[in-house]
Amino acid sequence: MALAKWQALVPIKQGTDGKSRLAGVLDCRARAALIRRMAQHVLAVLGQCEAIERITILSPHRPDGWLGDWRRDGGRGLNPELAAWRQGLGGAPALVFHADLPLAKPEDVGALLAMADKRRVAMATDRAGLGTNALAIADGAPFEFCFGPMSRMLHTAQFPDMPVVRRAGLTIDIDTPDDLRFAETCGFGPEPAASWNGSMPTPRLRNMA
């Protein structure tokens, strides 16, 4: 029996206050460019994953040039927005993948989804092991999204045996100057990112349009 295809959601912050903890090293224009570049990378990576049927961006406004699914962020907070999105999936496998993972690779995403297929749920944490960078729920089991401080503890409390997939591409996010320096030592350089849709196969775009 074929495994059900995954529905992926990528929350993206918009506006001039994104990544405010980087204000000491990047001005607002540079931070906005970084946010866009990382999001472009993440969307391109997810678009290469055959297990993912649909990619949806959650943001206040549709990003310029994005041809795929878009869900308006109504300002209720990330967790209520995610709960409302998942409720509309009818129990389909759901992946929440943060947009600030500049070293993520398709094989990282594949490892996370494969683990969730086996164990019902799987997650990836930040470098500190306290936050949640990605979360995959393979069925319609009840689950409360708890993104924010100590989210790993709050998520695993619901599934004590939830596996954590430890791969550099899933753990290296960028929130602080130290994160940025660490990512640079791991290969995050000045190369331009792919366009919103340029790295996605054409059939995938048809599914998401």
Confidence of residue 181 (pLDDT cuts 50, 70, 90): very high
The yes-or-no verdict on residue 194 having pLDDT over 60 is no
pLDDT for the residue numbered 191: 55
Sign for the CA dihedral angle at 49, 7, 199, 59 comes to: negative
> Which domains are seen in the chain, by residue range?
6-208 (3.90.550.10)
Bridge partner list, 134? 97, 124
Which residue's structure tokens are 């699914």?
69
Which of 72 and 4 is assigned the larger pLDDT?
A: 72
Structural contact between residues 95 and 52, judged by C-beta atoms closer than 8 angstroms: yes
> Does residue 1 register a pLDDT over 80?
no
Count of beta carbons in the 10 Å neighbourhood of residue 156: 18
The CA angle 179-182-187, to the nearest 5 degrees, is: 125
Residue 56, φ and ψ in degrees, nearest 5:
-120, 135
- pTM score, two decimals? 0.89
**Looking at the predicted structure, is the pLDDT value of residue 198 above 50?**
no
What's residue 2's pLDDT? Answer: 54
